[in-house]
A and B are shown apart, each in its own frame.
Chain A
């Protein structure tokens, strides 16, 4: 998955498990950037009576690096607090939740947002309400109204925020990809063949919890500017990552758990699938504890990714050129660790400098596409992944194809990608440019969550 349960330790701590990160120039508000950090993987919509919620004991953060050193220049922090309105019932709600402040909702959750920049910390919002989970037509009728009322303006014209349950927007054939790298549409060519069949979206009908911001571009740049000289303007490029933290010490069994000590990072996410597919199992937990500025220690796994060696083995005879390629994959290093410098792709760059760091890099000078391709940059659409990431981008196919060699000629013109590298996919053929998930056309772009009543497990 993108980063759902991607490491042994965090797989046991879903509330703090970052699953996806998105960053894109808002298509309907082009002077802003939308940042979305998802947490809590694979939520079954009917998971009551204790429906999903953010961790009151977790510090969530979204980081912006705007000067290329892979260290935070702008930080948004989120802390949550849950309230119990009626201590004498086991119910999540004691009647229809017709409004976000309804007294029938027994367990509302609120949160604060702070912004840290230039050495100062500013509270942008406090006691902001999350929407309830989508329980069903009796409990949460008019869910879109509830969700809309959970979009809050931030103080000081710093944009708007939403934090709450959303429909999973990331799609992947989970059941197949982790069954020895099988791609159902091409599994007749697998080392252990089965008849080819249509791909399956393994995250269909599942939910997730999103922290979504829509902030002015000027809030993210190093000099506060919001206009750029063009796509080559280095000021236009930011690096983005999210992280979650828990306190160093937790003592259980007191009246309330006692927490103490500094916040310790337990989860991190920049580019989709980095820790999942690039980093070996023995180092995944360590990766989650480190900042992006430490990522040079993982360079070897990007330069020589395990998956690139596995594909020719799993699909005998399908990837002969990839099998013969022994050089360093500097194309992947650029995509994942430095950004793509000017001069590689005409009219495009998202280079943050030579510091090796897994960050989602967004060139904010590139306007949203009027006809977006879910294949992003490899589909000829410079406004999509790996230039940031939009909610509908087919990042699994993009990264599969990149690792299979389609981007290798960018740095090694003598390499000819195998024919299969440009056509493989796992869920739906991206040439139709139709994602298997529907989205909203405005903030927070990820769709309303599936309801527990309509989608029982």
Chain B
């Protein structure tokens, strides 16, 4: 994954601009302390298409993922919270 695509993942595709969300979103801080779920890493294609992640509802952990013409909706509070945290981290801010 190249640099611009990584930037796309961390800033463009999340579609969030909620400074201090962890402080104001009920339960986010607690969720952030959860251990990351363990799952077997699938074999990834060498040249991956862009992936768009849309945290539709942080409270329920509803995350919409799009790759190619595929679209899946997950309910994963930990993933949703980690995406928020990554988006809100200082190094993620667009300069």
**Which residues of A are interface residues toward B (Cβ below 8 A)?**
247-249, 251, 253-255, 258, 260-263
- 6 closest Cβ contacts across the A-B interface? A261-B66, A260-B66, A249-B52, A260-B52, A261-B71, A258-B50
User: In the bound complex, how far is the Cα of B69 from the Cα of A228, in angstroms?
Assistant: 40
Q: How distant is B68 from chain A, measured CB to nearest CB, in Å?
A: 7
CB <8 Å contact, B71 and A248: yes
User: In the bound complex, how far is the Cα of B68 from the Cα of A262, in angstroms?
Assistant: 7
CB <8 Å contact, B66 and A254: no
User: Cβ of A261: which chain B residues have Cβ within 8 Å of it?
Assistant: 52, 66, 69-71
User: In the bound complex, how far is the Cα of B51 from the Cα of A247, in angstroms?
Assistant: 13
User: Cβ of A258: which chain B residues have Cβ within 8 Å of it?
Assistant: 8, 12, 50, 52
User: In the bound complex, how far is the Cα of B48 from the Cα of A260, in angstroms?
Assistant: 12
User: Cβ of A249: which chain B residues have Cβ within 8 Å of it?
Assistant: 13, 52, 54, 66
User: Cβ of A263: which chain B residues have Cβ within 8 Å of it?
Assistant: 69
18 A-B interface contacts by CB (under 8 A):
A247-B69, A248-B66, A249-B13, A249-B52, A249-B54, A251-B8, A251-B12, A251-B50, A251-B52, A253-B12, A258-B8, A258-B12, A260-B68, A261-B52, A261-B70, A261-B71, A262-B69, A263-B69
User: In the bound complex, how far is the Cα of B52 from the Cα of A262, in angstroms?
Assistant: 12
Could you list 16 further interchain pairs (A-B, Cβ under 8 angstroms) beyond the known A251-B12, A260-B68, A261-B52? A247-B69, A249-B13, A249-B54, A249-B66, A251-B8, A251-B13, A254-B4, A255-B4, A258-B12, A260-B51, A260-B67, A261-B66, A261-B69, A261-B70, A262-B66, A262-B69
Q: How distant is A65 from chain B, measured CB to nearest CB, in Å?
A: 23
Interface residues of B in 28-63 (CB under 8 A from A): 49-52, 54
User: In the bound complex, how far is the Cα of B87 from the Cα of A402, in angstroms?
Assistant: 58
**Which residues of B are interface residues toward A (Cβ below 8 A)?**
4, 8, 12-13, 49-52, 54, 66-71
User: Cβ of A248: which chain B residues have Cβ within 8 Å of it?
Assistant: 66, 71
Q: How distant is B85 from chain A, measured CB to nearest CB, in Å?
A: 21
Q: How distant is B77 from chain A, measured CB to nearest CB, in Å?
A: 22
Classify the secondary structure of A's interface with B.
strand
User: In the bound complex, how far is the Cα of B50 from the Cα of A247, in angstroms?
Assistant: 13
User: In the bound complex, how far is the Cα of B38 from the Cα of A216, in angstroms?
Assistant: 56
User: Cβ of B54: which chain A residues have Cβ within 8 Å of it?
Assistant: 249
User: Cβ of A254: which chain B residues have Cβ within 8 Å of it?
Assistant: 4, 8, 12
Partner of B71, one of A253, A255, A262: A262
Closest residue of chain B to A250 (Cβ to Cβ) is B52
User: Cβ of B13: which chain A residues have Cβ within 8 Å of it?
Assistant: 249, 251
CB <8 Å contact, B4 and A260: no
User: In the bound complex, how far is the Cα of B71 from the Cα of A263, in angstroms?
Assistant: 10
CB <8 Å contact, A262 and B12: no
Closest residue of chain A to B68 (Cβ to Cβ) is A260
Q: How distant is B8 from chain A, measured CB to nearest CB, in Å?
A: 6
Closest residue of chain A to B12 (Cβ to Cβ) is A251
Q: How distant is A289 from chain B, measured CB to nearest CB, in Å?
A: 15
Closest residue of chain B to A249 (Cβ to Cβ) is B52
User: In the bound complex, how far is the Cα of B54 from the Cα of A112, in angstroms?
Assistant: 31
Closest residue of chain A to B69 (Cβ to Cβ) is A262
Kindly name the residue among B49, B52, B54, B68 whose own CB sees the greatest number of chain A CB atoms within 10 A.
B52
User: Cβ of B51: which chain A residues have Cβ within 8 Å of it?
Assistant: 260
Q: How distant is B4 from chain A, measured CB to nearest CB, in Å?
A: 7
User: In the bound complex, how far is the Cα of B12 from the Cα of A248, in angstroms?
Assistant: 15
Closest residue of chain A to B13 (Cβ to Cβ) is A251
Closest residue of chain B to A255 (Cβ to Cβ) is B4
User: In the bound complex, how far is the Cα of B52 from the Cα of A247, in angstroms?
Assistant: 12
CB <8 Å contact, B12 and A260: no
User: Cβ of A260: which chain B residues have Cβ within 8 Å of it?
Assistant: 49-52, 66-68
Closest residue of chain B to A254 (Cβ to Cβ) is B8
Q: How distant is B12 from chain A, measured CB to nearest CB, in Å?
A: 5
Q: How distant is B71 from chain A, measured CB to nearest CB, in Å?
A: 5
Q: How distant is B54 from chain A, measured CB to nearest CB, in Å?
A: 7
Closest residue of chain A to B51 (Cβ to Cβ) is A260
User: Cβ of B4: which chain A residues have Cβ within 8 Å of it?
Assistant: 254-255
User: Cβ of B8: which chain A residues have Cβ within 8 Å of it?
Assistant: 251, 254, 258
User: In the bound complex, how far is the Cα of B66 from the Cα of A35, in angstroms?
Assistant: 34
Closest residue of chain A to B49 (Cβ to Cβ) is A260
Closest residue of chain A to B54 (Cβ to Cβ) is A249
User: Cβ of A255: which chain B residues have Cβ within 8 Å of it?
Assistant: 4
Q: How distant is A196 from chain B, measured CB to nearest CB, in Å?
A: 55
User: In the bound complex, how far is the Cα of B44 from the Cα of A131, in angstroms?
Assistant: 42
Q: How distant is A365 from chain B, measured CB to nearest CB, in Å?
A: 38
Kindly name the residue among A253, A262, A263 whose own CB sees the greatest number of chain B CB atoms within 10 A.
A262
User: In the bound complex, how far is the Cα of B50 from the Cα of A251, in angstroms?
Assistant: 10
User: In the bound complex, how far is the Cα of B4 from the Cα of A255, in angstroms?
Assistant: 9
User: In the bound complex, how far is the Cα of B52 from the Cα of A263, in angstroms?
Assistant: 14
User: In the bound complex, how far is the Cα of B65 from the Cα of A261, in angstroms?
Assistant: 8
User: In the bound complex, how far is the Cα of B94 from the Cα of A254, in angstroms?
Assistant: 13
User: Cβ of B12: which chain A residues have Cβ within 8 Å of it?
Assistant: 251, 253-254, 258
